[in-house]
Structure 1
């Protein structure tokens, strides 16, 4: 493997220490610079022309990517794109378009200038709005990178009460970002919600609210004809069992959660008022 190939396995940037450890020589580095294949960022760091700009910026600032800027390196969900770079810098000096975070105290990424996942999540909990931090934590928990209990142990005292309340919304299992957000919105509204509930005749549903209302959160696969047909049959089965179903999509959960919650309450009120009840007794289909 030549120097350029190795650097690309490191997002295009690496220290001389790691380059030498990979068996590359001083001459290989010098030739790479001479040929224009690589450049020297500063003493002890080399990069390619197509290097990851965030990783380059972290090396240049002598810092570690953290919070939302580190999410992609651990495969964590993010709710919104964030333009500013989030770094934990040794100097702590303010820099344009850089959000500085506190010291990293847990093991870092093995070879990139990226904070360890524990520091990434603790920084996010303190920095980002509740739901943005929640989806980061949930995706880490779902990958078994750490537990909510571990994070809770790092957030003692009254001043961290709000952050611990966010951890209370982490689910034992979440298959998508939408499930995390929907559960949070319903729970914060005071609704009793069970996720991944088994409903007789229907199977597993995304949410069962107050044990009477099914809420399904539909992703891209739900537009496929086969899946649409399956969903319709599941809705029929739910209705036969006395359960009403609602379906919501990404835009509903992410951009219009209040409207979604209000609609759920409206359906529950209508059900309580008996508007979905039969107007007469129907014994069954006539004999053939």
Structure 2
């Protein structure tokens, strides 16, 4: 499959502060080439014995994984590389809009993949690590998301990385130098406050309306709300984990009533509306703004 993205020109030294390769499996769980194991002093007998004991797993000819290595990284190594783009972001625990995407695999420039059983991998030919199986640094993963999935998904993943404090000033500066104007708009807008990808998505999609949108705002007697537009228009976005629970429903109604008592208006949307029927969400918000109901 042709690469989904490449890095024709990369400017500036790569930052080290966001070099976080943890996630589903630990950094100690690695992918190994047979030659590297032999160079490290293991004999062929040692390798075969480790496989027999289950501490090493053969992925394909000459490539092995430590037993604790997660399935996505094993599949990426079978394909000839390491996790990339939204697959790498998911591995790091970041919010992504398309968690069920086919596996994204980072290959070296001019490298080639090794299709395997049921292979639907999406290739990214931009991996410049010395170890082909070492995951890319976070700033590189975010750039892959921008090039492959666009500014919206980039913004969601970036705010997630900021919220988790996985990326700092050096990583943001690198992204600013190595992306386009729309990515730089996303970088300028991004903050650390959002606590879900839905909040980030709503804020990104409302940016063109010229509104003041704050995230995770604390209101007396109500608690923290997802977003506040202007002075008093509350927008709550409920993830799938809040669906169908009578306890959650009662809590939400109580919060909305307390907000109303303080002169606030609450609009509440679920994840399906935000992700798949944005036009309805935007019309509802715009109607309130047109009537200046977001202002006191």
* 2:199 is the alignment partner of 1:179: yes
C-alpha separation between the residues in 1 aligned to 2:74 and 2:191? 35
**Bigger radius of gyration, 1 or 2?**
1
Q: Is the 8 A contact 1:59 1:113 kept in 2?
A: no
Q: Residue by residue, what CA displacement relative to the aligned partner does 1:44-98 show, whole Å, maximum 9, x if unpaired?
A: 4225999866534543554332212322331222211222533232424488755
C-alpha separation between the residues in 1 aligned to 2:39 and 2:131? 19
* 2:77 is the alignment partner of 1:59: yes
Q: Is the 8 A contact 1:107 1:115 kept in 2?
A: no
Q: Is the 8 A contact 1:141 1:148 kept in 2?
A: no
- Kindly report the root-mean-square deviation, in angstroms, between the aligned alpha carbons of the 2 structures: 4.0
**How do residues 181-220 of structure 1 correspond to structure 2 at under 5 angstroms?**
181-219=201-239, 220=241
Q: Is the 8 A contact 2:31 2:63 kept in 1?
A: yes
Q: Is the 8 A contact 1:182 1:253 kept in 2?
A: yes
**How do residues 73-84 of structure 1 correspond to structure 2 at under 5 angstroms?**
73-80=91-98, 81-83=100-102
Long gaps (5+) in structure 1: 1-6, 273-288
Q: Is the 8 A contact 1:195 1:207 kept in 2?
A: yes
Q: Is the 8 A contact 1:76 1:136 kept in 2?
A: yes
Q: 1:130 to 1:213 in 2, by over 3 A?
A: same
Q: 1:134 to 1:47 in 2, by over 3 A?
A: same
Q: Is the 8 A contact 1:142 1:174 kept in 2?
A: yes
C-alpha separation between the residues in 2 aligned to 1:36 and 1:229? 50
Which residue number corresponds to residue 4 of structure 2?
Answer: none
* TM-score, with structure 2 as normaliser: 0.71
Long gaps (5+) in structure 2: 1-24
* TM-score, with structure 1 as normaliser: 0.73
The one of 244, 257, 266 equivalent to 2:265 is 244
Q: 1:123 to 1:36 in 2, by over 3 A?
A: closer
Q: 1:237 to 1:55 in 2, by over 3 A?
A: closer
The one of 277, 280, 284 equivalent to 1:259 is 280
Q: Secondary structure at the match of 2:87?
A: helix
C-alpha separation between the residues in 1 aligned to 2:156 and 2:197? 6
Which residue number corresponds to residue 104 of structure 2?
Answer: 85
